[in-house]
């Protein structure tokens, strides 16, 4: 039988993106050899590095290459070097373009506390925490009508309004249903608890989220559903993080809550993510941490979030679950062995086991 070859679009991007992605490619190649398949990695530019070469952060060729792949592995995009560019040329355009261009409406952000790293949580006495945030990714205020106008009206205190800028939060029932369904499905595969987060006390779009969730809940009678306003949820995440299972929410609320949940685990450098579209189309996998330009090139980057993203890629886009398990176990064993990168080193850890990016990658490879 012919060996299975998976085509992967690889976008290292900016800052530490390319460094951590290299680590993942080594790990992916190793498991491919072990489990009898092959990878055809094709590299593409996106973000600031693409702007530097093409004057465009998101070249057509990159989207085309990604569309023709089985999955996309991304490092990170952005950095201070490109912060002053016009919004249409900023590196973030590439991310938003990939999400929209590949139809990646479901963003999965697990916030898992590794027990070896529990001291790193900024919260006291947190027990084991394993939250999955399911964030809607191609709708809402990120992609709604936006623009600027000028108003001659006066404010209540008599001062002129001047320039008005607006961004619109709008959601269709269809968009809400398809992401809620993902939330319910993932809850079914886990502890069967789903928290729907909205601002239904104020926003009409949120009221539609809540109505739609209430209707759908009868299709999933085993799932215990609760509803939280986003402000309350951000408080509950701090006070009782271990009680959450799956959180499903809109694009912007998910952006904010996933950073908060990530911080609670104390190991933002450890958190992977997946962005998925219609089954059968390529998903995109990337570490949650950004491009960290301050440590780029120093060997201090923690490659584990990218490596765990590669494991998600194997699991959710390629169906190679055994290889995915193998990678996740290797990362766990590396932590159990006391090995750390700079970001997750604590005063109690053995200084001789604080590793650079390449060194910890070798340790992980040795545990596969």
Residues found near ligand IPM in the complex (CB under 6 A): 92, 95, 255
- Residue of 14, 198, 245, 255 with catalytic role: 255
CA distance 151 to 14: 39
Catalytic option among 199, 285, 300, 343: 199
Shortest Cβ distance from residue 144 to ligand IPM (Å)? 14
Instruction: Round to whole Å and give the CA distance between 45 and 56.
Output: 10
The residue length of the chain stands at 368
Alpha helices by DSSP H, the chain: 17-35, 48-54, 60-67, 92-101, 173-188, 204-216, 230-239, 251-264, 304-316, 321-336, 357-366
If contact means CB under 5 to 8 A according to the sort of partner, which of ligand IPM, Mg ion, none does residue 359 touch? none
Task: Answer for the pair 364, 330: CB distance below 8 angstroms, yes or no.
Answer: yes
Of residues 247-276, those binding Mg ion (CB under 5 A)? 255
Closest to ligand IPM by CB, 131 vs 364, is: 131
Nearest distance from residue 79's CB to ligand IPM, in Å?
Answer: 11
Q: Reduced to 3 states, what is the DSSP secondary structure of residue 14?
A: coil
Whether the CB-CB separation of 164 and 134 falls below 8 Å is answered with: no
**Which entry of 40, 83, 145, 231 is annotated as an active-site residue?**
231
CA distance 286 to 95: 11
CB 224 within 8 A of CB 194: yes
Smallest gap from Cβ 327 to ligand IPM, in A, equals 22
Closest CB to ligand IPM among residues 30, 139 = 139
Of the listed 6, 44, 142, 285, which one is catalytic? 142
DSSP letter string over 306-343? HHHHHHHHHHHTS--HHHHHHHHHHHHHHHHTT-B-GG
Binding mask 220-249 for Mg ion (x = CB under 5 A): ------------------------------
Which does residue 31 bind out of ligand IPM, Mg ion, none, counting CB within 5 to 8 angstroms by kind? Answer: none
Is 199 one of the annotated active-site residues of the chain?
yes
Q: What gap in Å lies between CA 32 and CA 288, rounded to an integer?
A: 24
CB of 153 to ligand IPM, least distance (A): 31
Residue 43 falls in the annotated catalytic set: no
Contacts of 240 (CB under 8 A, 6+ apart): none
Which residue lies nearest ligand IPM, judged by its C-beta? Answer: 92
Contact 10, 43 (CB under 8 A): yes
Please identify, using beta-carbon distances, which residue of 273 and 334 lies nearer to ligand IPM. Answer: 273
The least CB distance from residue 255 to ligand IPM, in Å, is 4
Q: Is 259 a known active-site residue?
A: yes
Smallest gap from residue 173 Cβ to Mg ion (A):
26
Binding of Mg ion at residue 286 (CB under 5 A)? Answer: no
**Burial (CB count <10 Å: 0-12, 13-18, 19+), residue 333:** middle
Sole residue written with tokens 């991304």: 74
**Residue 30 or 135 with smaller CB distance to Mg ion:** 135
Task: Please confirm, yes or no, whether 142 is among the known catalytic residues.
Answer: yes
- 8 or 108: CB nearest Mg ion: 108
Q: Which residues bind Mg ion (CB under 5 A)?
A: 255
Catalytic residues: 142, 199, 231, 255, 259
């Amino acid at each position: 039988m012919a060996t299975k070859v998976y085509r992967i679009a690889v976008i290292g991007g900016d800052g530490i993106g390319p460094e951590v992605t290299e680590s993942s490619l080594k790990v992916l190649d190793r498991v491919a050899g072990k489990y009898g398949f092959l990878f055809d990695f094709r590299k593409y530019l996106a973000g600031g590095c693409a702007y530097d070469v093409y004057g465009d952060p998101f070249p057509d060729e990159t989207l085309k290459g990604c569309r023709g792949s089985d999955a996309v592995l991304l490092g990170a995009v952005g950095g201070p070097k490109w912060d002053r560019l016009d919004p249409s040329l900023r590196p973030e355009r590439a991310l938003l373009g990939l999400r929209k261009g590949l139809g990646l409406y479901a963003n999965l952000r697990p916030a898992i506390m590794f027990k070896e790293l529990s001291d790193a949580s900024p919260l006291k006495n947190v027990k084991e925490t394993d939250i999955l945030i399911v964030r809607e990714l191609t709708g809402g205020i990120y992609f709604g009508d936006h623009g600027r106008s000028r108003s001659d009206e006066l404010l209540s205190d008599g001062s002129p309004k001047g320039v008005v800028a607006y961004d619109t939060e709008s959601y269709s029932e269809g968009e809400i249903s398809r992401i809620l369904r993902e939330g319910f499905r993932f809850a079914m595969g886990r502890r069967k608890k789903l928290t729907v987060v909205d601002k239904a006390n104020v926003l009409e779009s949120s009221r539609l989220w809540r109505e739609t969730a209430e209707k759908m809940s009868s299709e999933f009678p085993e799932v215990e559903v609760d509803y939280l306003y986003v402000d309350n949820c951000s408080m509950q995440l701090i006070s009782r993080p271990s009680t959450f299972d799956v959180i499903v929410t809109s694009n912007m609320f998910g952006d904010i809550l996933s950073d908060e949940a990530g911080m609670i685990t104390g190991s933002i450098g450890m958190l992977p993510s997946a962005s998925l579209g219609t089954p059968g189309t390529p998903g995109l996998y990337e570490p949650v941490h950004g491009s960290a330009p301050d440590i780029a090139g120093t060997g201090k980057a923690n490659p584990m979030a990218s490596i765990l993203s590669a494991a998600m890629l194997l699991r959710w886009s390629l169906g190679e679950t055994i290889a995915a398990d193998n990678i996740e176990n290797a990362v766990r064993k590396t932590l159990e062995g006391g090995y750390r990168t700079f970001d997750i080193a604590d005063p109690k850890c053995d200084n001789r086991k604080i590793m650079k990016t390449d060194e910890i990658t070798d340790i992980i490879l040795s545990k596969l």
